[in-house]
Amino acid sequence: MGNGYFKPTKYKLRCLACGKEFTEDNHLLSCDAEHGPAFLRAEYEEKQLTVHEEASGMFRFSDWLPLRRPIENSALPVAYKSEGLASHLGLSNLWIVFSGYWPDRGADMRTCTFKELEAPPVLSRFTDDSRTLVLASAGNTSRAFAEICSANGIPLLMVVHEAGLSCMWSTKPFSDSVKLVAVTGDADYFDAIHFSGMIASLPGYIPEGGAKNVARRDGMGVSVLAAVITAGRIPDHYFQAVGSGTGGISAWEAAERLRADGRFGDVGMKLHLVQNHPFTPLVDAWNQGSRKLLPMDEAEARRRISQINANVLSNRRPPYSVKGGVYDALADTQGHMYSVTNGEADAADELFLKTEGIDLTPAAAVAAAALKKAIQRKTITADEMVLLNVTGGGQKRLFAEHKINYLKPHLEVRRDEISERVVKRLFG
């Protein structure tokens, strides 16, 4: 497995609540001390970032990734200074970091999503192939993990709800090492998370961990690292669409490491996080000044989720209140949140294609739409450095240029059938 330069990284994990250090990793997802929910954070021996050009894909940024074994990967976001969109919006220093398929720009992430930055470090950190990694996804994450696990022969069980099944495609055949379980019957992403947790508790399985996994967060943070290395400085503002908000947390953590590096300025990068109206639990809580998510009954949440085009932004239990989570990231950066309608996102997609030359995925279009709102609200000014994270793009072009393989579910389970007895019968 793997290609090019590889060297395991030296790091320790620290609990953000009690400060406890862990020098042995072993896929640790949480602190063992008694306190409220809190993330672990990786602290790397290398305090200044060296870009290892001889390494493959995103492992060029290996100094700040928790890597333990080589993994074949080609994921690398491309950062550039915008001309077309910047001119249209009247911004003099707009930068774009693009994850997806755009050969003209040198972008060749065949899953067309920045979730492809999560899988390689997670799989490098996780070295126990005697157990099957269990992952819940709204679609994009499972596609990225399936792609990387297929290339490396790593056992993976993905749980995806019905709306995410159309996301299970690849330009390459899928390996027998990856299995797909579909949750049907008006299920949503939360149902997939719940079901996957039940499976992961059984012998022979282990949870991937989601936002708790430091490798997932630091992998997504590569978008910020790539942009800052290219631009030469930390941006004043950062825009991204969020479902769980983990990408926003990742950007915050990466920017703070760059700040401590000392060579890229002392800017506290302000987060501008965006959700797809009418399902906006993070926006609602933040605008109310609440550290806790506001109450929303299940039926209402499902109704709102059914109305958004960016289905991948539909997490009903995002890591908002946890120590080191979305609330802390926004508070520390004095950030902002935005709600964008389907129509506004569609208009932003058309504008991006016209001004920059490539199509956006629905979530990326949601982020792009927020730029106009920020200008109107004067939360950014024309001459400040703004970084737009295009978390997915080029899918229409990829489909036009390549044969697409779809992964069909190996098993389907209705939402109302999920129980411990059924889980044990099917996976025990």
Please return the burial class of 145, using the count of CB atoms within 10 Å of its CB with bins 0-12, 13-18 and 19+: buried
Return the CATH fold of 127-207+403-428.
Answer: Rossmann fold (3.40.50)
Please give, one letter per residue, the 3-state secondary structure of the chain: CCCEECCCCCEEEEECCCCCEECCCCCCCCCCCCCCCECEEEEECCCCCCCCCCECHHHHHHHHCCCCCCCCCCCCCEEEECCHHHHHHCCCCEEEEEEEEEHHHCEECCCCCHHHHCHHHHHHHCCCCCCEEEEEECCHHHHHHHHHHHHHCCCEEEEEEHHHHHHCEECCCCCCCEEEEEEECCCCHHHHHHHHHHHHCCCCEEECCHHHCHHHHHHHCHHHHHHHHHHCCCCCEEEEECCCCHHHHHHHHHHHHHHHHCCCCCCCCEEEEEEECCCCHHHHHHHCCCCCCCCCCHHHHHHHHCCCCCHHHCCCCCCCCCECCHHHHHHHHCCEEEEECHHHHHHHHHHHHHHCCCCECHHHHHHHHHHHHHHHHCCCCCCCCEEEEEEEECHHHHHHHCCCEECCCCEEEEHHHCCHHHHHHHHC
The pLDDT tens digits of the residues spanning 139-150 come to 899 999 999 999
Q: In what order do the strands lie in the sheet with 156-161?
A: 205-207, 132-137, 156-161, 178-184, 411-414
Question: Which residues are bridge partners to 101 per DSSP?
Answer: 108
Write out the chain's pLDDT in tens, 428 residues: 445 679 999 999 999 999 999 999 989 999 999 999 999 999 999 999 999 999 999 999 999 999 999 999 888 999 999 999 999 999 999 999 999 999 999 999 999 999 999 999 999 999 998 999 999 998 899 999 999 999 999 999 999 999 899 999 999 999 999 999 999 998 998 999 999 999 999 999 999 999 999 999 999 999 999 999 999 999 999 999 999 999 999 999 999 999 999 999 999 999 999 999 999 999 999 999 999 999 999 999 999 999 999 999 999 999 999 999 999 999 999 999 999 999 999 999 999 999 999 999 999 999 999 999 999 999 999 999 999 999 999 999 999 999 999 999 999 999 999 999 999 999 98
What is the per-residue pLDDT for 139? 84
d(CA 424, CA 428): 4
The CATH topology of domain 78-110+216-399 is Rossmann fold (3.40.50)
Question: Which has the closest alpha carbon to 273: 130, 145, 99, 391?
Answer: 391
Name the residue type at position 174.
F
Domain definitions of the chain by residue range: 78-110+216-399, 127-207+403-428
Tokens matching residue 339: 């709600």
> Do 78-110+216-399 and 127-207+403-428 show the same overall fold?
yes
Q: How does 331-352 read in b/e, with b if 16+ C-beta sit within 10 Å? A: eebebbbbbbbbebbebbbebb
**Residue that is written with structure tokens 């749980």 in the block:** 159
